[in-house]
Structure 1
Amino acid sequence: MVDTDRITGAAREIGGKAQSAVGDLVGDRRAQVEGRFREAQGRGEHLAGEARDALRDAADTAVDYAEDAYERGRHGARQGARTVTHAMEETPLLALLLAGAAGYGLALLVHGRR
């Protein structure tokens, strides 16, 4: 999406160049100065529009990367859950022993040694 400042800035810049050129031809100092001012103002507006467009593009790219990272993380979590479930089904005694050890470790952390 093109920012409107780019369009209006380019138009103002061209108008300023034309006014300045006419001022140069007829020797009108005021027209020359006003034309150069409008040209600089238009250039600044155009640059502001370009910067706004660049920021918008960067934000869109960042959102795309974040969505991709979220999807990859979600996929990895699902795959890990499947792997753990499969391992528990294959070796239920080992899974039970590991769960007991984890529970004992948590109990020690919560209640401490007395």
Structure 2
Amino acid sequence: MKLTTVEGMQSEIFVPITLKPIFTELKKPLSECKVAFITAGGIHRKDQTPFNTSGDFSYRVIPFDTPSDMLMVTHGDFDNSDINKDVNAMFPIDRLHELVEEGFIGYF
């Protein structure tokens, strides 16, 4: 596989070619669909064990009824202080609650 785009220049990091996403149309309205967030952002409840910032591959389940002020971020690659002031900037759980209340998306 050729990694150069300019003769004499080579990437220091191997970046695989990503295939185009496969789009699948919904078979029912969004109001009947459930939505889940899956993230590698280090989001967890304040009463859960924080992530180990030097390499943690575990996960934390965040129940839907968790208020945003009970969430925080433990992530080692950036300053978490601003996200911890408003976790919705990374994990928009309050917006998700609003969409359910409006009937735009379904709920279990």
Q: Settle same-fold status: TM greater than 0.5.
A: no
Q: Which of 1 and 2 has greater Rg?
A: 1
Query: TM-score normalised to the size of structure 1?
Result: 0.23
Q: Which has the larger helix fraction?
A: 1
TM-score (norm. length: structure 2): 0.24
